[in-house]
Amino acid sequence: MRRMGRISTKSLALWAVLSALALGLSTLDSVIPLCALIPVPGVKLGLANIVTLFALYVLGAPAALTILLVRCLLGAMFAGNVSALLFSLLGGFFAMCTMILLRRSQRLSVFGVSLGGAAAHNVGQIAAAMIVLGDTAVLDYLPFLLALSVLTGGLTGLIVSRLLCAVPRLSRQ
């Protein structure tokens, strides 16, 4: 209870808004028929990672991890799918751990951190698919997903860099 008392109402509200936004973007991601263009199962833009990365830079790792966990749990609950929880949790935690580690390097920008996170997310999802399927056939898609993560990670990095530039202006208003 004492630990909870350290989180201000404003922070709590912000975490909740970002969690809801991440959940919305995750749902939007699942309805975009990207697989019709790129025939690789599970290929997604990773829009929810925009919120995770933004939270990591603006609020720090504990907040970003909490938002990720809330998004994964609520997403699986709404989908009514336990394996969806495994996919999002493994992908999300692989990405989050990688982004936290990469961010410690002062030489990388948000683009590099985002790219590393996107690649790690795909590795996590392939690991989840191997567990669910009990088969290594999904490893065939890893090279494609890794190559695609350069594009999706770059896109996420671009959006988050624009958002980070806008945050100081928004804070002053």
Partner 1 sequence: MSMKASPGEYRPTLWDGLVVAAVLALAVITALAVYTPRSASGTLQVVVSAGGEPLETMPLSAYAGTHTYSHNGYTLTVHSDGTQVQVLYSTCPGGDCVHMGAVSDAGQSIVCLPARLVIRLAGSGADVIVG
Binding site for partner 1 (CB under 8 A): 14, 30, 33, 35-36, 39-42, 57-60, 83, 102, 105, 107-112, 115-116, 119, 129, 132-144, 146-147, 149-150, 153, 157, 161, 164-165, 167-168, 170-171
Complex with partner 1: residue 74 or 79, whichever CB lies closer: 79
Kindly state the smallest distance separating residue 132's Cβ from partner 1, in Å: 6
Residue 165 CB, shortest distance to partner 1, in Å, is: 6
Residue 28 CB partners (closer than 8 Å, separation 6+): 47
Nearer residue to partner 1 within complex by CB, 44 or 71:
44
C-alpha dist (Å) from residue 54 to 18, 21, 85, 86, 167: 9, 12, 22, 23, 10
Please report how close the Cβ of residue 69 comes to partner 1 at its closest, in angstroms: 19
Q: What is the C-alpha separation between 97 and 61, in angstroms, rounded?
A: 9
Which of residues 4 and 170 has its CB atom nearest to partner 1 in the complex?
170
CB of 2 to partner 1, least distance (A): 21
Contact 127, 141 (CB under 8 A): no
Q: What tokens were used for 170? A: 């928004």
Taking the complex as a whole, the smallest distance from the CB of residue 161 to partner 1 amounts, in Å, to: 4
**Distance from C-alpha of 97 to C-alpha of 63, rounded to nearest angstrom:** 13
Q: Which is nearer to partner 1, 132 or 155 (CB)?
A: 132
Report CA-CA distances (Å) from 145 to 29, 89, 140, 154. 16, 18, 10, 14
Tell me whether residue 1 or residue 18 sits nearer to partner 1 (CB atom): 18
